[in-house]
Structure 1
C-alpha cells in the first residue's frame, strides 16, 4: 500500500466568524475535516498541519503572534504531529514540507482545509507538480464570497469552480464519505 499523508491546511481562527476573514460553510468543513483527521490517526497515517502567518509582524491578517493564526482546536495537531508554518498560499513554498514528505516516504496526499480558491488550490497544484497523486475532500474545505469586476461570486460558486479546476487535471476530488469508505 502506498504511504499516504493528510495535509490539514490553514484551518485557523482567522476564518471563524470572529476572525478577520470569515468563511462560508466553515462549520460543516470543520466537522468533515475532523472526520478525515480521526480516520488518518486511526490508520496511523501521517498528518501534517499547515498554519499560515503573514510574512511581516504587522500583517493585516494572519498577524504573527495573534489568536487569528492559531489552529482551530477541533482540528489541531496532536502531540507529535508536525506543524508547518507558511507565508504563501502554496504550502510547499518556503517551507520544509517537501523534505518532510520525502523523509517519511510519502507517495500520495489528501488535502483538506481553507481557502478552497487559494491555499487548497495552490497546495494541491504544487503537490501534483511534484508528482504526488492528490485527493481533495471537497466538503472538508471552505471558502468565501468574492467579487470580480463588479460581479458578486457566492462562496458556493467559488468553491465549485475551484474543485472543478482541481478535478480537471490536478486531483481526485471527492466527498469525505467517499474518501473514508
Structure 2
C-alpha cells in the first residue's frame, strides 16, 4: 500500500449523454480517468470513488436509487474499492473520507472527475486544508458552460480558470500523459 490515494469524484451516469446534466468533454475526460484508475490500481494506491446523491424529491439530477446517480461504467469501482456517497459539493463534509485517508496513512491525493468548478475545486481545496499534497489531473475532469449576470462562460474557460486557481495555490495540476509519464 502506498501513501497515495486516488479520489474519483462523481463520474456518474447523469453527466453523460442520455443523462440529466451532460458535461462538455465528459467522455474524453472519463477515458483519461480510466487510465489513471488503472495505473493507481497497478501501483497499489488506495482508490476511493465518490458518488453524489441529491436527497431532495425535486432533485434535477443524481436522484437516489436512479440509474443516473450510479457510477459510470468507465470509472466503476471494483471489489475492495470504497464508494463514499456524499450529499454536498465537498466530499469530506459529513462522510468518512478524512478518516479513511488518515487511517491508511495517506499523504498524497490525486483528484479526477466532475465537475471542475464545483466538486473538483471543493475536494482539492479541502485536501490541501487537511494537509494532503494534492494533484489534479486536468484532462480527467469535465464541466459545462456557466452563466453569470447574462454572460455565458464556455466550459473550456470555466475549466481553465478553475485549474489555474487550483494550480496557483492548492495543487499540482497536470495532464494524464504527464502524470503517467
- Please state which band the TM-score falls in when normalised by the shorter chain: over 0.9
- Contact in 2 for aligned 1:32/1:140 (Cα 8 Å): yes
Equivalent residue for 1:151? 151
- Contact in 2 for aligned 1:2/1:108 (Cα 8 Å): no
Equivalent residue for 2:169? 169
Equivalent residue for 1:180? 180
Equivalent residue for 1:48? 48
Deviation at 1:23, TM superposition (A): 0.3
Deviation at 1:60, TM superposition (A): 2.6
- After TM superposition, the runs of 4+ consecutive aligned structure 1 residues lying more than 3 A away are none
Deviation at 1:55, TM superposition (A): 2.8
Q: Please state if 1:137 is matched with 2:137.
A: yes
Q: 2 CA distance for matches of 1:132 and 1:159?
A: 23
Equivalent residue for 2:126? 126
Deviation at 1:139, TM superposition (A): 0.2
Equivalent residue for 2:80? 80
Equivalent residue for 2:37? 37
TM-score (norm 1): 0.97
Q: Please state if 1:10 is matched with 2:10.
A: yes
Deviation at 1:17, TM superposition (A): 1.6
Deviation at 1:57, TM superposition (A): 4.4
Other structure's SS at 1:20 match: coil
- Contact in 2 for aligned 1:57/1:64 (Cα 8 Å): no
Equivalent residue for 1:89? 89
- Contact in 2 for aligned 1:5/1:108 (Cα 8 Å): yes
- Contact in 1 for aligned 2:36/2:176 (Cα 8 Å): yes
Other structure's SS at 2:161 match: helix
Deviation at 1:20, TM superposition (A): 1.0
- Contact in 2 for aligned 1:9/1:50 (Cα 8 Å): yes
TM-score (norm 2): 0.97
Task: Please list every run of 5 or more consecutive structure 2 residues that lacks an aligned counterpart in the other structure.
Answer: none
